[in-house]
């Protein structure tokens, strides 16, 4: 498995900026060797905690079907070694599972989410801006779907430092004007003390790094997010893919100096509100020292 596939901390884009870039359609969904693990965990969560991971307004079924149709067209075409269309089902080669595309007791967005590692969210223009109207979110990064469902963008992002004002207005414009033929993407990073995929907690309840955890046991949690407009409804489909890289593996990475320097630079540039949002207020200096040791050993 390729570690550190996405490294938003190593580039020129600063945290807490929009940072959207155009994405080639071929790269919309990126399944990897962890696909079986993700799909197993999703299946368990859909079974045991369905209301925690899936919500949808009744009038979103057509938009959900659009999202599923896009994936059914994309996956076997772009990833034929992983996905095969078999009549009214998708066969997933790494797991041997056949996922039926029509299921009486399953809404289309849940079916779509059972095909990919990504979480899936549908946003719809409402009187107060784009609202979260349907979602299959099994791996949230310290938030709960129940707390965000039905809310417009500005209220969803209210805890994010610096979102109010200029950034909120720019995001509204992007959501309003995104052409149907364009896909955009961005990524962000956090430090967690576990490689658990689900994190059903709010930032006020959950410190990503416990004080007693050594950074050799920590993980870089990267979200790769994509955004595209559904062709018929005009709703927006938002995807979130989680990557978990053991921080200690930076030591052996051929680009460890660049990666550690980039993360160190971004970490130290965070203001007090931003570092608190990332739950690193009590550990920033220790993490900076850890990264600096990797830089000097390179």
Q: Give the helix ranges, DSSP H, for the chain.
A: 35-48, 50-53, 61-78, 108-113, 145-148, 153-156, 166-177, 256-269, 272-277, 284-297
pLDDT in tens, 134-162: 999 999 998 999 999 999 999 999 999 99
Q: Where are the beta strands (DSSP E) in 219-269?
A: 219-229, 236-246
What's the pLDDT at 207?
47
- Residue in this structure with the two tokens 């009486």, named with its chain if needed: 104
What's the pLDDT at 209?
56
What's the pLDDT at 234?
97
pLDDT band at 66 (very low <50, low <70, confident <90, very high): very high
Across the beta sheet with 129-136, the strand order is 21-22, 183-192, 219-229, 236-246, 119-126, 129-136, 54-56
Helix (H, G, I), strand (E, B) or coil at 150: coil
What's the pLDDT at 177?
96
pLDDT band at 205 (very low <50, low <70, confident <90, very high): very low
**Residue 162 corresponds to which tokens in the numbers above?**
């610096």
| Integer Cα distance of 287 and 282 in angstroms | 10
CA–chain centroid gap for 9, Å, is 16
Across the beta sheet with 89-92, the strand order is 83-86, 89-92, 97-100
What's the pLDDT at 201?
67
The average confidence (pLDDT) of the chain is 93
Q: Find the mean pLDDT for residues 57-69.
A: 98
pLDDT band at 200 (very low <50, low <70, confident <90, very high): confident
What's the pLDDT at 11?
83
What's the pLDDT at 12?
81
| Integer Cα distance of 186 and 226 in angstroms | 7
The fraction of the chain above a pLDDT of 70, given in percent, is 95
pLDDT band at 206 (very low <50, low <70, confident <90, very high): very low
Q: Decide if pLDDT at 193 tops 70.
A: yes
The fraction of the chain above a pLDDT of 90, given in percent, is 88
What's the pLDDT at 3?
83
What's the pLDDT at 210?
57
pLDDT in tens, 210-259: 556 689 999 999 999 999 999 999 999 999 999 999 999 999 999 999 99
Q: Find the mean pLDDT for residues 82-107.
A: 96
pTM above 0.75, yes or no: yes
- Residue in this structure with the two tokens 């979602």, named with its chain if needed: 135
pLDDT band at 13 (very low <50, low <70, confident <90, very high): confident
What's the pLDDT at 203?
46
């Amino acid at each position: 498995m390729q570690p550190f596939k996405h490294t938003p901390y190593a580039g020129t884009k600063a945290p807490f900026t929009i940072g959207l870039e155009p994405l080639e359609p071929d790269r919309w969904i990126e399944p990897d060797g962890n696909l079986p693990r993700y799909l197993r965990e999703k299946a368990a969560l859909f079974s045991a905690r369905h209301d925690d991971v899936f919500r949808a307004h009744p009038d979103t079924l057509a938009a959900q079907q659009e999202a599923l149709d896009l994936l059914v067209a994309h996956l076997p075409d772009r990833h034929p070694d992983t996905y095969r269309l078999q009549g009214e089902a998708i066969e997933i080669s790494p797991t041997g599972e056949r996922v039926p595309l029509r299921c009486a007791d399953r809404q289309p967005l849940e079916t779509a989410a059972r095909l990919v590692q990504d979480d899936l969210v549908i946003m719809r223009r409402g009187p107060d801006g784009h609202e979260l109207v349907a979602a299959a979110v099994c791996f949230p990064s310290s938030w709960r779907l129940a707390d965000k469902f039905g809310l417009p963008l500005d209220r969803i992002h209210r805890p994010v430092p610096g979102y109010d004002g200029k950034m909120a207005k720019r995001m509204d414009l992007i959501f309003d004007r995104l052409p149907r033929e364009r896909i955009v993407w961005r990524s962000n990073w956090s430090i967690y003390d576990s490689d658990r995929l689900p994190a059903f907690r709010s930032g006020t309840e959950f410190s990503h790094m416990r004080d007693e955890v050594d950074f050799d046991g920590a993980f870089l949690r990267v979200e790769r997010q994509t955004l595209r407009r559904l062709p018929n409804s005009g709703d927006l489909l938002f995807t979130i893919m989680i990557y978990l890289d053991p921080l200690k593996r930076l030591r052996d990475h051929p680009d460890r100096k660049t990666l550690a320097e980039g993360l160190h630079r971004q970490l130290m540039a965070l203001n007090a509100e931003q570092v608190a949002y990332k739950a690193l207020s009590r550990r920033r200096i220790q993490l900076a020292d850890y990264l600096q040791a990797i830089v000097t050993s390179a």
